[in-house]
Every structure is written in structure tokens, then in C-alpha cells.
Structure 1
Amino acid sequence: MNPNNPLPANLFRRQDETPDAEFYHHPRFVTHIDDRAIAAVTQLYREYFPPNTDLLDLMSSWVSHLPAEVPYRRVVGLGMNKAELAANPRLESYVVQDLNQQPALPFADAEFDGAAICVSIDYLTQPVAVLRELARVLRPEAPLVITFSNRCFPSKAIAAWHALDDRGHLALVQQYLIAAGGWHAIELFDRSPLPPGRSDPLFAVVARKKAA
């Protein structure tokens, strides 16, 4: 068993195992959840990311859904498509990196005050390794906000994601964090806009970096 991914390998198989760099080569200037679900993401960021802090937007794109009225000291993005990242007005800087090929993050220990993964956790084939790295680069008690819906690129989402329902997805992400270590105060949320069925659902797992 791979110590960087202690969960069974068959959970992380995908319908399309061609290199992700090929799949994400062309920019997609679209949003992957609807406006009401995006608003729910933004509200979570208001609640967990204080102003004037250093944030990491992991698996980022051309929009970060951060609240427009909140100033942050620095926002760094890491994603797969250079054109999308370059178009994101909230990013001070960005890194193009395939986390499924290289889960190690190119950042210093305790560099950030918070991190976000928005509607992308279902594509990670080495999520435990990535979350372990995130714990390394966050400062003690810094929040990690992971959000997801019921929409995805089916061919690139892992087998476990397809096999589970919404509650199962929450439990799976919680298990990733436990397996990674370095996290505590894990909270599971259903932030789906009301009334149900009129917009995309929105779920979140929030955890904090353990103090040394």
C-alpha cells in the first residue's frame, strides 16, 4: 500500500486515464456550478477567511469565488491551465501544476493563513498526499475549505466519487483528512441553496491545521 495514499488504489481509477495535461490543455472560461451555489461558496469564504490574510486557491481557475468586498493580503493560485489562471483577477501569482502527477506543493512551510479547493476534490488521485502537503504549507489553526456539488467531468472523477452519494462524498473527504493527518476540528456542511432542487447543491468539508 502506498503510504502517500493509504486507501485502496481501485478507488482512484478513472474512466479516462490519459494525462490530465491533455484534458485541461484548452481553457474553459465557464463556471461549473450555478450562481446560487457559487454564492454559497463565497459565503463560506466570508466566514472562514479573515481579511488581510495569505490564501492558497488550490486547483484554481479563472475565478476564485472570493467575496469581492474582502481584501486579502495575497492570493496564490495553483491549477492546470495557464490561460485560466492568468485571467483570474484575484490571484497575485499562480503555479501551473498537475497534482495527480506531482502532489508536493512548491510552497514553504506555514506560508498561508487559509486554503480552498472548490469543486475539484473529486479529481484527485492522490488526495491524501495533497492534503498532507496542504497541512504543511498552512499556519497553525488555518482553515481549509473544500466545497463540491453533484456535478463533475465524469471521465476524470475517481471511481469512489461515482460510487457514493452526497453524504458519502462528505464522509470520503473527511476520511482523506483523517488519513493525511495534521488536521482537526473537521466539520461537514450541507450549504445547498433553499428551496431544494432549484439550484445546484453545495456541500463543504472544513478543517483546521493542527498546531505543532
Structure 2
Amino acid sequence: MNSSNNPFPPNTFRRQDETPDANFYHFPRFVTHIDEGAIAAVTQLYREYLPAGGAVLDLMSSWISHLPEEVAYGRVVGLGMNEQELRANPRLSSYVVQDLNHAPTLPFVDNEFDGASICVSIDYLTQPVAVLRELARVLRREAPLVITFSNRCFPSKSIAAWHALDDRGHLQLVAQYLQASGGWHQVELLDRSPNGYQSDPLFAVVGRVAL
């Protein structure tokens, strides 16, 4: 990103492991990256924000999308890094294998989707402003984007800023991404952590397309 579009310090998006992401994600990981309580919180957010019957984009997707089982969507498209994981995802109508850190332009037409999600993956993006600008393009006006995250990650692939911030800082950082990318409004910063100390925390930033 050039300086006119990037309000972040130069080292914000550095990572411990700068080898190609395609190598890291070459082998499938059929595991969940947050526990059941946090997953339920993600599903509830999708129940509240993603429109039933609509076309939904599951960005940075894998073998499970955490969408509510009782809700039917017109179409669910997944974009992720591992084809085996995407192929195994029962909620996807179709999928695209793409490394957003290498190619942040989304292969979809303008105003194609009614909602989108990024689940526990925003911390891996090295060009988040470019990706969120693209999301504003492919979503319809007022369509929601639900970005969720916890305190778990692959440390070597998370950006430096993520490691430097606490939970509240993560919320503010993702909100800054949306502001810097333009085209978003009604941004909400949410703590949806399940009650009890045994569950993973769950946070969300939700925005709507204002274009």
C-alpha cells in the first residue's frame, strides 16, 4: 500500500515468518481454531447480521464456516488458501483458492454479495486496507461484514501490530482498517466473549457498506 492509503507505521504488517503463505497453508488443517463457546458466539453473530436467503462471501474460509444450520442462504462462496479444506466445507456453493496477501483483488463483480464474513483470520492480512476496499466493492449497499477474532493465532503468520496490542487494541485496529479503506459506516466494536473463564474470548467488528 502506498503512503496515501496507508496510515499505519512501516512495520505494522511485518511477520516473523515471511516465507510464502502458500507453503504454510499447503497441508490441510481439519481443526477448529477456537473452542465451542467462541464458535457459538460467531454463529450467533452470523444469525443476527447475515441475511437469510442472501449471497454470502466467506473470506479466508476453510473446512467449516460456522453458519447457523437452520438458516438457508441463496449462495455461500468461500475464498481460502487450501483447496482440500474448501472442498470439504459442506456450506459452500463454490470456492476460490487465493492468497490475499499476494493478490488482494477479489475475483467477483461489483455488488455481488449480500453479506460477508472473516472468521479468526484478519490478523494474517498484510494488505487489509486493500482487501476491505475490495469487499466494499463486491458487497451491495448496506450489506454487513462480520469480522471475528479471538486470542488464538498462528504466531509466526500474524502481523507485528497484532502481537503488540491487547484485545481492545485489536478492535481499534480493525476499525482503523475499515476507516482507511473507505466505503464503510455503522461500524460496531463488540465483545461477544462467552461467560466463564474456560472459553476462548470472542470479539467482532461489524461494518456496513456505505458506497
Compute the TM-score of the two structures, normalised by the length of structure 2: 0.98
Residue 6 of structure 1: CA displacement?
A: 4.0
Cα deviation, 1:143-189, whole Å, max 9, x if unaligned, reads 00000000000000000000000000000000000000000000000
2:203 matches 1:203:
yes
CA contact (8 A) 2:5 2:180 kept: no
Contact kept? 1:5, 1:126, Cα under 8 Å? no
TM-aligned CA distance change 1:25 to 1:4, over 3 Å: farther
In the aligned structure 2, how far is the partner of 1:6 from the partner of 1:165?
A: 20
Q: CA deviation at 1:8?
A: 2.2
Structure 1's unaligned 5+ residue stretches are: none
Supply the AA of the counterpart residue of 1:102: A
| 2-structure distance, mates of 1:178, 1:53 | 25
Unaligned runs of 5+ in 2: none
Letter of the structure 1 residue corresponding to residue 200 of structure 2: D
Counterpart residue identity of residue 87, structure 1 = A
Partner of 1:104: 105
**1:4 Cα deviation from its structure 2 partner:** 5.0
1:90 aligns with 2:91: yes
Report the CA distance between 1:198 and its aligned residue: 1.3
Report the CA distance between 1:9 and its aligned residue: 2.6
Number of matched pairs: 210
Percentage of matched positions with identical amino acids: 79
Letter aligned with residue 46 of structure 2: Y
Partner of 2:172: 171
Aligned residue type for 2:149: F
How far apart are the structure 1 equivalents of 2:23 and 2:155? 16
Residue in structure 1 matched with residue 192 of structure 2 by the alignment: 191
Scaled by the length of structure 1, the TM-score of the pair is: 0.97
Secondary structure of 1:186's counterpart equals strand
- Structure 1 pair 14–84 and aligned structure 2 pair: CA distance change class (3 A): same
Coordinate RMSD, CA, aligned: 0.9
Structure 1 residues 4 and 101, CA gap change in structure 2 (3 angstroms): farther
